Chain A
Amino acid sequence: MAASEIAQRKQLLAVESLTKVFGTLKANDGVDFDIDEGEIHALLGENGAGKSTLVKMLFGTLQPDGGQILWRGNPQIITKPSFARQLGIGMVFQHFSLFDSLSVAENIALSLDAATPLSKVSAEAERVADKYGLSINAEAMVGDLSVGERQRVEIIRCLLQQPDLIILDEPTSVLTPQESERLFETLELLRREGKSILYISHKLDEVKRLCDRATVLRHGKVVGHCIPSEETPSSLAAMMVGENIHTIRKVADEAAGARETVFSVNKLSQPPTGPFSTALKDITFDVPAGEVFGIAGVAGNGQFELFEALSGERLQKDASMILLRGEAIGNKTINERRMAGAAFSPEERFGHAAVATLSLADNVLLSRHASDAKAYLSGGLLRIAKPSALKSTLARIVKTMDVRKSGDNPDAGTLSGGNLQKLILGREFDRQPSLLIVDQPTWGVDAGAAARIRQSLIDLSKSGSAVVVISQDLDELLEMCDRIAVMSEGEMSEPQQASTVTRETLGLLMGGANAGQAA
């Protein structure tokens, strides 16, 4: 018995002093760790700590410059992903590797044997999806899916290959608590089946709840191995960040009820904007000055459409559907709304909030050329940009938000996700807007930067602005918000007081129950 017990827990994968160098940056520097069969192993680290690089080497999309990878005790050179799959390594990427113009089933078929007929792929995918509680329409075009839905496709695709080792990069960021719970059950089921899982997450309590062992990376080096169940979330975070994370200060505000309404949305309805887009139905809410208003919900329930309607990227015929300090702005463009005092921060950082191949100063100009035309443009109708003014604003943002970057004014694409998010929000804070609408403020951002971002959003509201936060992370909303409403299939629930509402109530509202049922 003892012998078989040991045989069951034998080592599946080991990594020995793995090193990867990009130019002068050591992305991975002598990384060591190992995973046993039937183990859920956590990989913890801030953005830019080298987790993605490490994982890419395990999956064969990058080649190490030194060290070796042992699979079942044998050294292997994993030259390409197909070889990794052949070994039995499956991967769910953080940045999805899906083709927008293909359907879900076609995307899945791409990673399977060429001989599998598409109809069989659809059926298989839906079966696996049901089993693991990841509802998905196999015929839908990936381009029309939300971020959350895309991630589900990635997870299903990976599970279909029946790998021995599954690498999951931030898998729960877009799931409801109930769905996360189902995913954990799935992962535990897989563990009982003897499969191994490499689990990358910033959610420390998840790691603590789920993982057998953890490896912590900082600046490309392993700073420690630990057993998460013996640690506290804050001791894990301290290992990861290398400093104690400060906790959010939320001062009770007695005058909240008496404050003037800054922003109100009245019966906002909008038909679907594409074949797989969600219609908005009768959305109504008010946000007074000094309040952080949270909008929860699972991805793809109309949050994206709501953001577009509120930002003015999509206009409404009836101007009075959206009021900013009493002024009807429903038919105003995004820049007219900015000039009226609003600021916006969308979910996607690259390609929406910022352009990766433009410099940071140009990215400041991107959202502020109209609202701060006097500061950044000269020459009258010629509208000549003033690089010096932009650079001094950039320096100010970098200083207040602690944005870490290389060089004076690098391309936005060189920043890590967390630092870019700090810059994007800092760009709007710097204007002192009377209304800020932010979608997924801390998606994929490490714990240290996330805490800072949440604190700065609260600080903005305390200075008298209205803040609307759209997020799929309930912990975040409960931590920051005064009131929380839930989006489900394009409808919005009654706002709930964050101080009294339970996670179960919110979870039920996300699932489509109405407030009466939920309470």
Chain B
Amino acid sequence: MKYLLYLGCLIPYRKMGYEISARRVSKTLGIELQDMPDANCCGLPIDTVNHEMMLLLAARNLCMAEKHELDILTLCNGCTGVLMKVNKMLKQDRALREQINNQLQKIGLEFQGKIKVKHFIQILLEIGFNNLQKFIIKPLDFLNVAGYIGCHLFRPSEFMEIENPENPSVFDDLIELTGARSVRYVDEFQCCGFVEGAIDSNIPLFLAREKLNNVKNAGANAMVTLCPACHQVFDGSQRQIERRFSESYDLPVLHYPQLLGLAMDIAPEELALNDLRVKPTKLLTSLTKT
């Protein structure tokens, strides 16, 4: 099992813990990751400026992967959404493919539609729960975890491959795999508001605060995300929200590979748990007690 690792920009910019833990967990699970030396931005941030430019940026990444003859593994939901969507659009729509190829020709590339784009959890699903179960050495049965899947992984359902887009249960299964209890809460499939920060800095705080409250009321003692942007909102802005609304959450937000890694009995240092803004101190003490 060999994949090209597409990092995107937010992970190296702010969320190294996600990259480190994903690499570490992949190593144990036997997922071989090859770096992508010539990748560029997925295109999502400038979809709003120029749709065609977004298509070209995404298509260039796909062409690079075709050169390496490997499928792409993504960690960020935004990158997953764009690359998977554009890959399918170009495969299905001949006129669009010809138009994009005409332009790519000028930089010596051609989209052929030979590869697939998969998010990290889709690869876990391919490995299968029965096989993954063998790696779970230290079940985290003391934890109540609220999963936050993130929009672009399952919407728009026209292009994404997560089952049951109105109420996707796949992330719950992945959390229960680690031995933790998956907690359901109000509005768990609603946007975190990360991109809103650029235009109005208030709205994302309200959006995130509401969700943090819902998570707390549901009795969770940790949150888990699949996307660096969602993580930035719930972990990176948690202190700011606490100050702004005079509330206290103290809710550690883990990247999913970190949770999985703990259940696989990988040392917390190797999973970069110290990279989190809200320190998971309580969680780690309960972990050593078990």
Does B bind A? no
Q: Residues on A close to B: CB < 8 A?
A: none
Measuring CB to CB, which residues of chain B are less than 8 angstroms from any residue of chain A?
none
